Chain A
Amino acid sequence: MARALINVPPKAKRGEVIAIKTLIAHVMESGFRHTNTGVAIPRDIITGFVATYNGEEIFRADLYPAIAANPFLTFHTVATESGTIEFKWTGDNGYSATEQVKITVE
């Protein structure tokens, strides 16, 4: 189950600054931990996040092992036109998740 929580206002005025909040379920295993028997737990983290607004990139972040599980990322953008905001997370072991949210700009 790819699980993500996205908070984008469904409607906005043209030119308005809107807050976008994203939360995705991921263990963010740092690669620095060991099991009880001393075996290293391999790194398994999200390494990149990109948000696009009608295909145009508006936000990008690189993630590192020190970031906690279930990373919460929030940022702002200017509501320019109606359309789709797409979020893409990529990471270790071929991890990839995408979410889309529609926004209406009046």
Chain B
Amino acid sequence: MVAAAVAVATVIAVAFSAAAPVLTADIPREKRRSTYEQMSPATKAMQDEDTANPGMLWVLDGEALWRAKVGAAGRACTDCHGEAPQSMKGVAARYPAYDAKRAAPVNLEGRINLCRVERQQAPAFPLEGKDLLALTAYIARQSRGLPIESSDKRLEPFIAAGRAIFQRRQGQLNLACSQCHDDNWGQKLAGITMPQGHPTGYPLYRLEWQTLGSLQRRLRNCLIGMRAESHAYGAPEYVALETFLMWRARGMPLESPAVRP
């Protein structure tokens, strides 16, 4: 009798320890889906055709900025990096990347601004401003279709920090990102289908915004929706989340500039 009770208890313990990680497990590779697949045919068509994708307006501006000589150094991006279609191919798929000097990951917007301040000796672009989005979109466009990479071992503590934020309940609704995007993706939240939340298309044109926006703007959106405290653009919390989300989406093709509803 006692032995049977112990056996039952063991079974329960095993069942719990097996069930616990399932709630917060990463989505297996074969089940990962870009939000693109949940979009209407009209929105897909908008993203697929360069002359219908409003994000391309920013890409055009970004190309002009890439060639513009600026700052005290009087240097354009092209003076060091040459032609973006060759030199920037695959770059956006590797960001946020580890910066040894700062001992922290830097996202693509951050890298552009570091280049501006340090190499071009020009003032940094305001975060989420039109120019920074345009240059980011132009660089990200060069990696369209290439798989997201995240293999730098030095990023691991930051991925872990991002994961902790992703799985932490926060805000007045006491929600964690993972509750929607890991545990309940594909289900309905009011009228919309909850996406897995892979950042495959940033910066992207969101029809709701009627403009191009960065991943940080989207994260801010989600935090406000959860009635949690949002951070200032460029905050380390956002960069850690970005680093984690890109690792979580590793292997998925980049779609920048994507279109989302």
Chain A interfacial positions (CB closer than 8 Å to B): 1, 3, 5-7, 21, 23, 25, 28, 68-70, 72
Could you say which residues of chain A place their CB within 8 Å of the CB of B50? Answer: 5
Complex contact B51–A1 (CB within 8 A):
no
| CA of A10 to CA of B181, assembled, Å | 45
CA separation between A6 and B64, bound complex, in Å? Answer: 18
User: B258 to chain A: closest CB distance in Å?
Assistant: 15
Q: Is the CB of A70 within 8 A of B54?
A: yes
B51: which A residues are within 8 A, CB to CB?
Answer: 5-7, 21, 23
Taking a contact as CB atoms under 8 Å apart, the answer to whether B61 and A1 are in contact is yes
Chain A residues with Cβ below 8 Å from B140 are none
Residues of chain A with a CB closer than 8 A to B64's CB = 1
Report A-chain residues with C-beta under 8 Å of the C-beta of B61: 1, 3
B17 interface hit (Cβ, 8 Å): no
| Contact B56–A5 (Cβ < 8 Å) | yes
Contact with A along B79-111 (1 / 0, CB 8 A): 000000000000000000000000000000000
Q: Is B13 an interface residue (CB 8 A)?
A: no
Q: Is B210's CB under 8 angstroms from A23's CB?
A: no
Taking a contact as CB atoms closer than 8 A, the residue among A3, A7, A25, A68 that contacts B207 in the complex is A68
Instruction: Collect the chain B residues with CB atoms within 8 Å of residue A21's CB.
Output: 49, 51-52
| Nearest A residue (CB) for B64 | A1
From 49 to 81 in chain B, residues with beta carbon under 8 angstroms from any chain A beta carbon are: 49-52, 54, 56-57, 60-61, 64
Q: How far is the CA of A28 from the CA of B207 in the complex (A)?
A: 13
Question: Bound state CA distance, A6 and B211, in angstroms?
Answer: 19
Distance of A100 from chain B, by nearest CB (Å)? 15
Q: Is there an interface contact between A69 and B60, defined as CB atoms closer than 8 Å?
A: no
B residues in contact with A23, CB < 8 Å:
51-52, 54, 56-57
Q: From A5, which residue of chain B is reached at the shortest CB distance?
A: B51
> What CA separation (Å) do A72 and B53 show in the bound complex?
9
Cα distance A73–B57 when bound, in Å? 15
A3 B60 Cβ-Cβ under 8 A = yes
With A21-B52, A70-B57, A72-B46 already in contact, 18 other A-B pairs whose C-beta atoms are closer than 8 Å: A1-B60, A1-B64, A3-B60, A5-B56, A5-B57, A7-B49, A21-B49, A23-B51, A23-B52, A23-B54, A23-B56, A23-B57, A25-B54, A28-B210, A69-B211, A70-B54, A70-B210, A72-B54
In the assembled complex, which residues on chain A have CB atoms less than 8 Å from the CB atom of B49? Answer: 7, 21
Task: Identify which of residues 11-69 in chain B touch chain A, using a CB-to-CB cut-off of 8 Å.
Answer: 46, 49-52, 54, 56-57, 60-61, 64
Residue of A with least CB distance to B212: A70
Question: How many Å from the CB of B108 to the closest CB on chain A?
Answer: 22
Min CB distance, B16 to chain A, in Å?
50
- Residues from chain A with Cβ under 8 Å of B57 in the complex: 3, 5, 23, 25, 70
Min CB distance, A71 to chain B, in Å? 10
Residues in B whose Cβ lies below 8 Å from that of A68 = 207, 210
Q: How long is the Cα–Cα vector from A6 to B50 in the complex, in angstroms? A: 10
**Nearest chain B CB to A44's CB is how many angstroms away?**
13
Show 19 A/B contacts (Cβ-Cβ < 8 Å), sorted by A.
Answer: A1-B61, A3-B57, A3-B61, A5-B51, A5-B56, A5-B57, A6-B51, A7-B51, A7-B52, A21-B49, A21-B51, A21-B52, A23-B51, A23-B52, A68-B207, A69-B211, A70-B54, A70-B57, A70-B210
A3 CA to B54 CA, complexed, in Å: 10
Closest chain A CB from B162 CB (angstroms): 31
